[in-house]
């Protein structure tokens, strides 16, 4: 979807290259160092290039998961991962989950994340979903505020425990 005249991000399907990655090895902390991933959600590798191709391949081959690269004026400024899901016993039973949404810090607070959410809503409707879902790290106040301001409501608290 191209809308260069209005200055909105351009969406393209994104597939990771076989040998390189555009993800940063500093994922998990903001540049301000205000929060870190929970121990149960920490990245397993210091550098994404250490992850085997099989790990990415399973993700990329999933029928329910789609990755998009967010592009502005020909420059990659972020990405979003979406996953369709169903919960047949719920009133809102068909969802599109925003698994990952990242906009490079130099491009934040310019409406790009909001534009991505708007496009995700369009995609959800096109795919027959009745709601969007998203989660973020508990201590990531910026993300929590962003989603609240975009109209997302707290639905439940997720807990996890290692089985060590």
- pLDDT per residue as tens digits for the range 70-92: 988 888 999 999 999 888 787 87
The residue to which tokens 């975009």 are assigned: 150
Q: What is the model's pLDDT at position 17?
A: 28
Percentage of the chain beyond pLDDT 90 is 38
The pTM of the full predicted model, rounded to 2 decimals, is 0.69
Q: Give the lowest-confidence range in 33-47, 104-118, 147-161.
A: 33-47
Structural domains in the chain?
4-149 (3.40.630.30)
The residue to which tokens 């420059």 are assigned: 75
Q: What φ, ψ does residue 113 adopt, rounded to 5°?
A: -60, -40
The residue to which tokens 């698994």 are assigned: 99
Q: What is the model's pLDDT at position 145?
A: 94
pLDDT digits (tens, 9 = 90+) for 119-152: 999 999 999 999 999 988 888 899 999 999 999 9
Contact between residue 85 and residue 97 where contact means Cβ atoms under 8 Å apart: yes
Query: Going by C-beta distance under 8 Å and a sequence separation of 6 or more, which residues neighbour residue 10?
Result: 1, 2, 3, 4, 70, 71, 72
Percentage of the chain beyond pLDDT 70 is 73
If one compares 41 and 79, the residue with the highest pLDDT of the two is 79
The pLDDT of residue 22 is above 70: no
User: Which structure tokens are listed for 158?
Assistant: 């997720």
Q: What is the dihedral of CA 150, 154, 158, 159, to 10 degrees?
A: 120
């Amino acid at each position: 979807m191209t809308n260069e005249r209005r200055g909105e991000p351009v969406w393209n399907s994104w597939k990771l290259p076989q040998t390189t990655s555009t993800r940063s090895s500093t994922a998990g902390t903001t540049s301000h160092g205000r929060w870190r991933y929970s121990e149960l959600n920490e990245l397993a590798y210091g550098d994404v290039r250490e992850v085997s191709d099989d790990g990415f391949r399973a993700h990329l081959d999933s029928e329910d998961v789609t990755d998009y690269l967010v592009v502005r004026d020909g420059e990659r400024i972020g990405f979003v991962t979406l996953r369709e899901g169903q919960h047949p016993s719920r009133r809102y039973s068909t969802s599109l989950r925003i698994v990952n949404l990242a906009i490079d810090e130099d491009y934040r607070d310019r409406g790009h994340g909001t534009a991505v959410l708007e496009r995700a809503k369009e995609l959800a409707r096109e795919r027959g979903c009745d709601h969007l879902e998203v989660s973020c790290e508990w201590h990531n106040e910026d993300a929590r505020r962003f989603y609240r301001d975009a109209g997302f409501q707290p639905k439940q608290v997720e807990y996890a425990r290692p089985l060590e």
